[in-house]
């Protein structure tokens, strides 16, 4: 049997951890598409893994794939409605998509959940 026709063994949990960490590195190295590719198999095996979904959402955003990023951020927020970073990132996604009213709502939720200076500035509560 040739190498290309030999069936691949199923990925182990350790493989998924390695792929997740490698995806973090790829995203940091500005290769969001490579990160998404690695995370696809992790999420296929562990669809409930919110951390992997959040990382994939960030990678989609970095690759300017705004609709997939939005869907992933929304899924994270369904599971973790108090995730300030996910609200902030979803707001940035809406902002980039030309939807300022939706962006403002999530900027304000992020700031209310975690009053970091960056979140507060983006929330523009005085407007």
| pLDDT higher at 9 or 72 | 72
CB neighbour list of residue 84: distance below 8 Å, 6 or more residues apart: 109, 110, 111, 113, 114, 116, 119
**Chain mean position to CA 64:** 12
pLDDT digits 0-9 by tens, 58-100: 999 999 999 999 999 999 999 999 999 999 999 999 999 999 9
**Would you state the torsion angle of the CA atoms of residues 23, 37, 103, 106, taken in this order, to the nearest 10 degrees?**
-50
The pTM (predicted TM-score) of the whole model is 0.87
Query: And the tokens for 91?
Result: 């707001």
**39 closest CA partner among 28, 24, 29:** 24
């Amino acid at each position: 049997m040739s190498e290309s026709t030999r069936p691949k063994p199923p990925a182990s949990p350790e493989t998924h951890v390695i792929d997740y960490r490698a995806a973090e590195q790829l995203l940091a190295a500005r290769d969001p598409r490579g990160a998404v590719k690695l995370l696809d198999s992790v999420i296929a095996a562990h669809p409930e893994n919110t951390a992997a979904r959040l990382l994939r959402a960030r990678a989609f955003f970095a690759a300017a794939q705004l609709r997939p990023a939005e869907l992933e951020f929304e899924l994270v927020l369904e599971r973790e409605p108090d995730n300030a970073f996910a609200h902030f990132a979803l707001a940035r996604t809406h902002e980039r998509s030309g939807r300022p009213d939706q962006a403002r709502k999530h900027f304000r939720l992020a700031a209310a959940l975690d009053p970091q200076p960056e979140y507060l500035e983006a929330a523009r509560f005085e407007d």
